[in-house]
Amino acid sequence: MTLLDKTHNPNLRSWVESANVAGCDFPIQNLPFGRFRRAGSSDTSLRIGVAIGDQVLDLRAAGLVDHDDMNALMAAAPAERVALRQRLSDGLAQGSTQQAAWAAALVPQSACELAVPCKVGDYTDFYTSVHHATNIGRQFRPDNPLLPNYKWVPIGYHGRASSIIPSGTAFRRPRGQTKAPDAAEPSFGPCKRLDYELELAWFIGQGNALGEPVAIDQAEDHLFGVALFNDWSARDIQAWEYQPLGPFLSKNFGSTVSPWIVTMEALAPFRAPFSRPEGDPQPLPYLDGAGNRAHGHIDMQLEVLIQTAKMRADGQAPTRLSLGKLKEAAYWTPAQLVAHHTVNGCNLQPGDLMGSGTLSGPSLDTAGSLAEMSVGGKQPITLPNGEQRTFLQDGDTLILRGWCEREGAVRIGLGEASGTVLA
């Protein structure tokens, strides 16, 4: 795990004044990475940037890298990543001798087109919230909601990397086969039970060789950082197709990721102990370690908001659907996901994405999907303007937000992951 150093100093301030505003997602203690291009520019190539306040620092223009390959940067050894973070922190701090030179390398975020933060080669989606697994399982198996393997093995499936889209991208409602409980045969048409899933995307930095598992004590050396992730889901298509091999067309039509990867180094002040609830089985030895027990969890708040087409037309701001805590939602830590994913010799590569699965807390106001909040569509949710939702309608915009805060540390944020449903 990354140790605290001078880059985490809560008294540190930046010469980029917007980074010093209270509640800013991207203070100098954060320094997340992403890819961008100048909006309207004839140059369509993507550059590596670091978010600082409401600006983006172009790393190549600042002389910090000599390439625009984000995946190559992510593949660097942990010590190299720490050194780059320290250079960024020193150069962006008040009084830095780099201010004059680096000011010319700043681009307002409002003038940028932000992309998926790296090239995603492979994408695995996990199922790390025991509350979500129980809530959804209860809808399919009322007498046996949680399958017996859940508390022993991190459950996951391989997703579709090509349909991962950047925040702000609208997507079309998917079509597929569904079957009503009283129907003799399935029908084909638009999804009627479209849902969101509040997730985190854990990005791999350094990879591992085929056949060489990553031990849990070294797992975080292979994690670059985290972003917000919305794995949109067609619940009616899913219900018909998921047996016996799991999700397919119900998941691969679009998954939204936020544009900034908050590094594991930036998360250091917000680590928390990991433990199993009393009476639950302890992890098998390859999923257990002193470091993971001491600081495997992360103190992070996760929020979901909705803005319907009517709200937008009436000039109403998005309204909150849920607010929860990561460490209350996640039954497995990111280090355990890496250790399990590689224990059979699977080789991870820089830029690979591991979805956390829907992160739901112990109550419905901390749930990470409408399928849970509406109890499978049986209990409509009434929004402040009187509209009701069981599942998403055309024109709905969903916004995910996340942030870390703790006494003695500066609050850092993950930005937003937003998407709008098209007919």
Question: pLDDT band at 178, cuts 50/70/90?
Answer: very high
Q: Is 255 annotated as ligand-binding?
A: yes
Binning the chain into helix, strand and coil, the percentages to the nearest 5 are 25, 25, 50
Second-level CATH architecture of 6-114: Roll (2.30)
Instruction: Provide the percentage of residues in the chain whose pLDDT is more than 70.
Output: 100
- Confidence label for 369 from pLDDT (cuts 50, 70 and 90): very high
286 is in an annotated binding site: no
pLDDT band at 217 (very low <50, low <70, confident <90, very high): very high
**pLDDT (tens digit per residue) in 316-365:** 999 999 999 999 999 999 999 999 999 999 999 999 999 999 999 999 99
328 is in an annotated binding site: no
| Residue 141 assigned ligand-binding role | yes
**Beta strands of 84-170 (E only): which ranges?**
106-108, 112-114, 123-126, 156-158, 164-166
CA 62 to chain centroid: 28
C-alpha–C-alpha distance, residues 197 and 234, integer Å: 11
Residues marked active site are found at: 132
User: What is the pLDDT averaged over residues 371-396?
Assistant: 97
For residue 42, pLDDT beyond 90: no
Report pLDDT digits (tens) over 43-71: 889 999 999 999 999 999 999 999 999 99
Average pLDDT for 292-304: 97
Q: How far is CA 193 from the centre of its chain?
A: 23
Q: Where are the domains of the chain?
A: 6-114, 123-422
On whether 29 is known to bind a ligand per the annotation, the reply is no
> Whose CA is closest to 106, among 30, 22, 47, 20?
47
Region 130-136: mean pLDDT is: 93
User: Which runs of consecutive H residues, i.e. helices, occur in 330-369?
Assistant: 334-342
What mean pLDDT value characterizes the chain?
A: 96
Homologous superfamily of domain range 123-422: Fumarylacetoacetase-like, C-terminal domain (3.90.850.10)
pLDDT band at 40 (very low <50, low <70, confident <90, very high): confident
Residue 2 has pLDDT above 70, yes or no: no
DSSP codes of every residue in 1-44: -PPP-GGG-TT--BSSGGGGSTT-SS-TTT--EEEEEETT-S--
The annotation status of 242 as a binding-site residue, yes or no, is: yes
Six-digit token string for 113: 């087109």
pLDDT at residue number 245: 87
> What is the per-residue pLDDT for 246?
87
pLDDT of 379 strictly over 80:
yes
